[in-house]
Amino acid sequence: MRATRRTRPTTAVLAATAAAAVLLAGCTSGSSPAPGPQASTPSADGTLPVSNAAPLEPLPTGVPAALAPYYAQKLDWKTCDGEFQCAEFTVPLDYEHPGDGDITLTAARQTATPGGKRLGSLLLNPGGPGGSAVDYLEGVARTYDPQVRAAYDLVGLDPRGVGRSTPVRCLSGPRMDAYAAADITPDDQAEVDALVAVDKEFAAACKDGSGGVLAHVSTVEAARDMDVLRALLGDDRLHYLGKSYGTFLGATYAGLYPDKVGRMVLDGAMDPSLDARAGNRTQAGGFETAWAAFAKDCAGRDGCPLGSTEQEVGRRLTELFASIDAKPLPTDSGRPLTEAQATTGVIQAMYAEFLWPQLRSALTDAVAGDGTALLALSDEYYERAADGSYPNLIAANMAVNCLDLPAPFTGPEGARAAEQDFAQASPHFGRDMAWMALSCTYWSHPPTGEPHTVPAAGAAPIVVVGTTRDPATPYAWAQSLAAQLESGRLVTYDGDGHTAYGRRNTCVDGAVNRYLLGGEAPEDGTHCAK
């Protein structure tokens, strides 16, 4: 949640919801997964050649001649990470100047299981931005409906800048610890200066560590990469299931290539028409809505650590944050729990209802003076490993967001002026998110995107799924995106947590599966109860 309009990838949340044993076996073992194919060897000028291109006859419809070699590559799938296959392919660093060099992207797949009528490939993206689709695929592939797995090769493509696809690199593990702990509700000028210094350090580290790719990780460029992969997979149309930020990526693809849209599902939708300030403020309200649901649930249980009414639970959380701000709590790790980490720990638990018992326990410990469990939730949010290392999740998240939209503030005075407005939307998280919106102010590359609507005129039906109490992608975003898309079909899930498909709600899963398998798009306005 540190970057502008941060929407955490759903990888861990969905895998744990559908198959906790699979996640624990695949992601928390001390052993490392088998490596995928090695990256291409750079040439003297640091570029990666399109080395596996074949003569292309005829040229794909609508593909400029300069891009023809990229659409002519042959994917060389190799076994990776156990039961999966991985392949690499190259794309232009800059689609407007394809002669300026290439980058390498990595995709993974699980081929369709025997016994079904194969319909093609189903590209998956878990969100973020910054979430690894390869990791997501490997974590949840076996939890998808058996008929869907028999009909499609499930494919995860790490977007440019993410995971195994020419990743952006920023802070080291110890500096990420400091970044996650930094005070994001400054009370005086010294704390404002300290926060600005942290944001500037992050931006400078990304510039120093990422090279030329940092200027070319926009969502538009990632969507163009998906079209290259669609062609290399042999599909005339892109079948796609995106969650969270993956909905913005999918909608962007639909806007660029409406005639190439196949069966597309966008779950936990983002609203591309919002600017960064409005997006952050609305998202703060989403987390407040989720917190209210948790507070009501907690107050109705014996032993709720914060009180016996929803109002008391909310008031005592504010008091707890204030006390931790004044004096961080000790933890078993030796890293003190700061107010920012305590807030992030609470935010993490809002993503899925099954995390609420863990949060109640963590709050019980925190009230007693032990921050260990809340710090663990914060570390889960950042995907911090036991050895203190971090994936490039936050680095990629910031890099994409700062290119996709102009920064909402030109300096800390803007964040300070926005505090009250944000706090009205979210008394518990608004100040934090106002100051987090400052992050892109110091970015090294100017934004390339602007708020916009996506009609995707002429596209096949696009199913948009919205959850009424979704914290990270508020339900109003799904309503807006479905209305923008000329072929949008809104499916509403009246429930809690981030995203809905694959969480064992028979109504949502049935509507999506019927569409993926038979092309039967649900009626616009379909409503599913918890």
User: Pick the catalytic residue: 244, 378, 426, 480?
Assistant: 244
470 is known as an active-site residue: yes
> Does 244 qualify as catalytic in the annotation?
yes
- Tokens, residue 393: 């999740």
Whole-number CA gyration radius for the chain: 22
How many residues are given for the chain? Answer: 530
Report which secondary-structure segment, H or E, holds 198. Answer: helix 189-210
User: Which residues have a Cβ under 8 Å from the Cβ of 517 and sit 6 or more positions away?
Assistant: 119, 147, 148, 151
In DSSP terms, 9 is beta-bridged to none
DSSP assignment of 402-452, as one string? HHHS--S-SSHHHHHHHHHHHHHH-TTTHHHHHHHTTGGGG-SS-------
Question: Which of the following is catalytic: 81, 470, 496, 509?
Answer: 470
Concatenated DSSP letters for 332-391?
A: TTSPPBPHHHHHHHHHHHTT-GGGHHHHHHHHHHHHTT--HHHHHHHHHHHT--TTS---
Place of tokens 């973020």: 128
Q: Is the distance from CB of 298 to CB of 274 less than 8 angstroms?
A: no
Choose the catalytic residue: 216, 239, 428, 498. 498
Closest CA to 399 of 106, 241, 165: 165
Pairwise CA distance, residues 201 & 192, whole Å: 14
Three-state secondary structure string covering 236-260: CCEEEEEECHHHHHHHHHHHHCHHH
Please list the active-site residues: 244, 470, 498
